[in-house]
Chain A
Amino acid sequence: MLGKREYLLKLEYNLMLGGGRWVADFKESFWNFSFNEVIFEMMICGGMRPKGFALSRLASTLLMPNYQAACFAYPDDPGLKRLPGVLKAVQRYMKDKEIKWSWVVVPCESAFSPQARASVEKNEVRDLGIALVNLQTQEITSSRSYIGRRMARFVNTFK
């Protein structure tokens, strides 16, 4: 079984240098990131405009909106008791830093409660995607919004 630290390191690599680059240019990663009295194990932020070289840089400048995006991760919350506070902090951070959309990843070495999974599946906040990652069974439960459905593929770093 992948430990939570190994999982987060793989997620970080995947977002900054792997497949995550197709979604956003995640360029900076903080560990033990604290905001509004909430400590995130990891926070990765970036923009939607890839750098590239010459023509690709020109194309991205002309065609891509320069939205900011972020991915927050905090582990070990099988009952999602901390999630409301975390979401509040994330939304506050998004407002402060003008971030257009965010992902919240909750990796856990034990199973999530059925209520926790149901509450995440029901979540339809448009600019926020939530994914519960069970490291034992490698099962991923994500929120129903477009951002949430899209993130499931990129937080799956088990392959």
Chain B
Amino acid sequence: MKKYTSFQATNFVKSFTLFFFGLTFLWAAGNYIAIRDVLISWPIFIVNLILSAALGWWHYRQRYHLVFSYDDDSFILQVGKKILANRWAEFTAVSLFHPGHGDLFVRLYQKNGSFVEIPASLIKLNPSEFRFEVMAFVEKAAGRKGRI
């Protein structure tokens, strides 16, 4: 199986910022409740940065980190802790989808109209070439030529 891992800086910054402001608020509120003052110093700021980076990294890995592996029979897409494993044979149509912000996803449709999206550009694959590769897998799995 080919395996692709993608670090998404924007999502990590999002997680980091969330924890940085959260910890800052907690520190200020805790200080105010305990001593009626807020202690601010460089060491506290640096500890906050390190803690935020660590917690942000943990949150990013839980929620956003992308790992995608596939071969000609199936694929496994892991987004954070969520794992989606499917066989190409379960799908009947393939499209290239633009959700916005210049990203391109490969959409796989099932017979009942429900679909699964593979964020090709976020995994740093060439979305157009990957789409054709997936079309070939689906076509091969369906054992027929023509309609995809």
Contact = CB atoms under 8 A, between A and B. Distances in A.
Contacts of A12: 96, 128
A139 interface: no
A34 interface: yes
Q: How large is the interface on B (under 10, 10 to 19, 20 to 34, 35 or more residues)?
A: 10 to 19
Interface string B90-129: 0001111111101010010000000000000000000010
B50 to A, nearest CB: 32
A29 B95 contact: yes
Q: How large is the interface on A (under 10, 10 to 19, 20 to 34, 35 or more residues)?
A: 10 to 19
Nearest to A15: B98
Interface of B: 93-100, 102, 104, 107, 128, 131-132, 135, 146-148
29 contacts: A9-B128, A12-B96, A12-B128, A13-B128, A16-B98, A16-B104, A17-B104, A27-B97, A27-B98, A27-B99, A28-B95, A28-B96, A28-B97, A28-B98, A28-B107, A29-B95, A29-B96, A30-B94, A31-B94, A31-B131, A31-B132, A31-B135, A31-B148, A32-B146, A32-B147, A32-B148, A34-B146, A39-B147, A51-B100
